Structure 1
Amino acid sequence: MSRLLDSDEIARQLEQLPDWRLDGDRIVADFEFENFGVAMVFVNRTAEQAEEANHHPDIDIRWNKVHLALTSHDAGGLTQRDVELAHRISSGE
């Protein structure tokens, strides 16, 4: 199990993740795309990244809008795994 990040670590990490914000014990991001098809390409790429990391975000899709939430349920809050996956998602790696 990964170590929980403290509030200072979370704040520093989020400075490098402009798409993401803190929401309780998770980080969240909202992405908007040209249409549903483009949104689904993003969701499918995110799913591949999540599978590779063995760490899965909550995903909400509304036509061209995608809402993602990351937290480490097994650790009870935010860990470095969440931050690393957020970086991968935002950079499109």
Structure 2
Amino acid sequence: MPRPSRFSPDDAAAALRDLPLWSGGVEGIERTLQLPTFRAAVEAVSAIADVAELLDHHPDMDLRWTSVRVAVVTHSAGGLTELDLELARRVDTLFPG
């Protein structure tokens, strides 16, 4: 499978305009989910893990009581790629904000 191409700063800025719940840039993007309970936050981690497995692209996740920070970057490309955007879009579908 070919390695995805890293986005330019302009490409990253354009992509983030379509992902208003996310922040970051060419080095990667992140979003923090706020859930009503600890159990809901744990279930969010599990739901995101299921999507990550389907895409074979795995985010860093940090669970803190009722919040989950999700950070994505394509390490093999050294920055933001289309894989990261696809995972972010799927997270937004699960958790529209």
Q: 4+ residue runs of structure 1 moved beyond 6 angstroms?
A: none
Residue matched to 1:70: 72
Matched pairs, number: 93
Secondary structure in structure 2 of the residue aligned to 1:74: helix
| Cα deviation, residue 42, structure 1 | 1.0
Secondary structure in structure 2 of the residue aligned to 1:39: helix
- The percentage of aligned residue pairs carrying the same residue is 35
- Structure 2's unaligned 5+ residue stretches are none
Tell me how far apart the structure 2 counterparts of residues 47 and 18 of structure 1 sit (CA, whole Å).
22
- Structure 1's unaligned 5+ residue stretches are none
Residue matched to 1:90: 92
Residue matched to 2:47: 45
Q: State the TM-score, normalizing by the size of structure 2.
A: 0.91
Contact 2:6–2:80, Cα closer than 8 Å, also in 1: yes
Contact 2:13–2:25, Cα closer than 8 Å, also in 1: no
Tell me how far apart the structure 1 counterparts of residues 82 and 25 of structure 2 sit (CA, whole Å).
16
Paired residue type of 1:44:
S
| Cα deviation, residue 75, structure 1 | 0.7
The correspondence for 2:38, drawn from 36, 39, 48, is: 36
Q: State the TM-score, normalizing by the size of structure 1.
A: 0.94
Secondary structure in structure 2 of the residue aligned to 1:68: strand
Paired residue type of 2:37:
N
